[in-house]
Amino acid sequence: MMKDDVILKVENLSKQYRLGLVGTGTISHDLNRFLARIRGKEDPYLKIGESNDRSTKGTSEYVWALKDINFEVKRGEILGIIGKNGAGKSTLLKILSKVTGPTTGAIKSKGRIASLLEVGTGFHPEMTGKENIFLNGAILGMTKKEIASKLDEIIEFSGCERYVETPVKRYSSGMKVRLAFAVAAFLEPDILVVDEVLAVGDAEFQKKAIGKMQDISSQGGRTVLFVSHDMAAIQSLCTRLLVLKNGSVIFHGVTNEGVKNYLRPTFIKSFDPIEIGENIITQFNIQNSTTFKSGSDLLLTVFFKINSPVFNPFFSIVINDSRGIEVLQFHSRGINFSSDFCNDLILDLVVDDFNLHLGDYSIDFKFYDGKSYEFKNIASLKCVELMNFKISTNQYHKLNNSLYYNYNYSVK
Amino acid sequence: MQQKWLFVITPKTKLIDLNLKEVWQYRDLLMLFVKRDVITLYKQTILGPLWYLIQPLFTSVIFTLVFNNVAGIQTGVIPPFLFNLAGITTWNYFKECLTATSDTFKKNEQIFGKVYFPRIIMPMSIVLSNLLKFGIQLLILIAFYLYYALYAGAAIRPSEYLFLFPVLVLCMGMLGLGLGMIISSMVTKYRDLTFLVSFGIQLLMYISLVVIPLSLFQEKGVEWLVMYNPMGYIIEMARFLLLNEGNISQFGIIYTIVSSILALLFGIVIFNKTEKTFIDTI
């Protein structure tokens, strides 16, 4: 029964922003809007506006940061919200936490919403940690009594016991986050909104924070909306997933399904044919069928199209770290492909016990046709575009410094 | 299924949307903000809260020298220094309320952009923490009052209506808060007003009877300069209550009370309209 209880309902929510500077145009628009209102007409500027694609140049001064968003959240759910920069995640959270109002649509809620958008705002640098706990707690909607009763727990959770009587301006940034998150963690709202706050804390604290969010939802029966770029955190924490793109919902459902759909996109939008010796690679694409997670197997699938038969070809998939240094190379030397393959080739790379440190990685795909002297890079996949090329939980620490991976190429 | 929602967020705004229940729920925050304002203002200063006293005293000394000794403005039986101190102390409360509330949105953009709480808490806390400051400054006024009355032998006594003084303070609070909220709301879009406030308040002081008594304005036939300024009446009334000096009229009393209430109501309406989306325009 509890499970079916809808606690938050978002209906046709849209938010329009005006681009550019506030200038003299603003006054005339304000006047037009005012005239329309007193004549009982609709706001003339609501009709125009384009979808919010950051990279393309638009013609309208107005954009829709969010357009017709609809979704429901049930009690006790942890909903992960993901999307690229500018997809509307923060705008959605801002409206949810009443920081700004929607342009159209409505949000209906059965519970108190408290937000943890960017921790430490509202901290006064001159006041001590303890004073700031009270102030920040009150800003988040707690009463003095509530805070006082939880003060010891909050201080303990933050791990800043020694500093509670010291002004916050002397804190390190990590300590500020710890303190702020500790306050919010003991807040008891029905719905907790968390926006990428964990990025600053160290690994130990991140783990603690994620554990706390799980407790809030599983034991407290409370709902958490969690925005993050950290896919591993999303996957381990969230029961459901909402994917935003250019201000619209493109997926809402079970996390695993969303990860499958959203995280296995067609990586390469357009591929310009590449000449290698006498051959031309006309099509190329790469997908990873599993997520990048240390300690599990990695599966990469490469789609490949070449105009004429190649004998004795050679492939190499290279993984580079964020500074561009090669850390792993999986080459196909010694693997016999049937000599007359042509046209469509689907190539699977399976790596057993994949194990890498935390961080962002990129992938290169290299090809050698067996004849010319070129070993050409066909495609580079940057970690920025592929959120899941970031390894963020290293749950598996292999102590041997093995440089050898068991891997296997196979042709379908 | 019948759905009962705790609250609904929509783009629509009611004209007066002051949710007093919500403000009451956040009363602890109000007090904590007051506390914050008071304890952090003079952190890392040597004289600390003494600055509360130094500022009106020095201003009064200078005003006395310039306006009374040099320009020769007469203040009757009241010692000029006390006359000025009473005026400045009262004026300061209004001035601080107005200037501090008038950049509520701009100053708190960071925090307002992150979390929601009834925005009106912020200007209210400013008015309250200034009240504390005003209280301390009144003490120094009383000290000088006693000095003049007991040692210097000045013929001064408070009016029998002195008990009405809190009403006057309330009027000032409402006026400062109301005007401050109106200005702060408009500043979110048009920053021009910040410049106006900073020098406007200086000019306003001269036509608010702080240093020049009403009788002098009447004598010179330029009463119209101060006739429509509620602050002028408030200062004159404050001096009347404290020093039993000055002339107040029925019109002045009613005009002051009505304009204070109107300023506050108007302020609340505009502030409420602004608070919902100001973060997009500021």
Average the pLDDT over A298-322 and give the result. 75
Are B4 and A110 in contact (CB < 8 Å)? yes
* Cβ contacts of A102 on chain B, cutoff 8 Å: 9-11
Lowest mean pLDDT among A152-166, A186-200, A244-258, A332-346: A332-346
Distance CA A261, CA A277 (A): 36
Write the CB contacts of A328 (distance below 8 Å, at least 6 apart in sequence): A318, A319, A356, A405
Give the per-residue pLDDT at A375. Answer: 64
Are B117 and A107 in contact (CB < 8 Å)? no
- Evaluate whether A78 touches A52 at the Cβ level (below 8 Å): no
* C-alpha closest to that of B102 among B35, B207, B234, B192: B192
pLDDT for A74-107, tens place per residue?
Answer: 888 889 888 877 788 888 888 888 888 888 888 8
Helices (H) then strands (E): counts for chain A: 8, 20
Distance CA A156, CA A328 (A): 42
A107 to chain B: nearest residue by CA?
A: B9
Distance CA A278, CA A369 (A): 9
Q: Is the pLDDT of residue A398 over 50?
A: no
Distances (CA, A) of A121 to A71, A176, A182, B268: 29, 10, 14, 26
How far B103 CA lies from chain A's nearest CA (Å)? Answer: 17
- Evaluate whether A9 touches A77 at the Cβ level (below 8 Å): no
Find the length of chain B. Answer: 282
Give the per-residue pLDDT at A55. Answer: 58
Helical pair A144-158 and A173-185, crossing angle rounded to 10 deg: 130
Distance CA A113, CA A8 (A): 10
To 5 degrees, how large is the angle CA B225–CA B230–CA B234? 110
* Cβ contacts of B43 on chain A, cutoff 8 Å: 126, 167
Write the CB contacts of B24 (distance below 8 Å, at least 6 apart in sequence): none
Distance CA A147, CA B281 (A): 34
- Evaluate whether A191 touches A162 at the Cβ level (below 8 Å): no
Are B7 and A121 in contact (CB < 8 Å)? no
Distance CA A244, CA A229 (A): 12
- Evaluate whether B11 touches B264 at the Cβ level (below 8 Å): no
Measure the N-to-C terminal CA separation of chain B; round to a whole number of Å.
Answer: 42
Task: State the pLDDT confidence band at A315, using cuts at 50, 70 and 90.
Answer: confident
Structure tokens at B146: 């006693």
pTM of the entire structure? 0.72
> Between residues 91 and 130 of chain A, which touch chain B (CB distance below 8 Å)?
94-112, 114-115, 117-118, 121-122, 124, 126-127
Structure tokens at B256: 């002051």
* C-alpha closest to that of B263 among B204, B179, B185: B179
**What average pLDDT is seen over chain A?**
74
How many other β-carbons are positioned within 10 Å of the β-carbon of residue B191? 12
Distance CA B184, CA A333 (A): 71
Specify the pairing of strand A359-368 against strand A375-381: antiparallel
pLDDT for A245-284, tens place per residue?
Answer: 888 888 888 887 776 666 544 455 556 677 766 677 776 7
Give the per-residue pLDDT at A119. Answer: 62
Specify the DSSP element, H or E, that contains B280. Answer: helix B278-281
The list of chain B residues with pLDDT below 70 reads 1-3, 12-18, 281-282
Give the per-residue pLDDT at A385. Answer: 39
Q: Is the pLDDT of residue A394 over 50?
A: no
| SS3 category, A315 | strand
A93 to chain B: nearest residue by CA?
A: B114
Specify the DSSP element, H or E, that contains B110. Answer: helix B109-112
Q: Which residue type is seen at B29?
A: L
- Evaluate whether B217 touches B226 at the Cβ level (below 8 Å): yes
Q: Return the percentage of chain A with pLDDT > 70, whole number.
A: 65
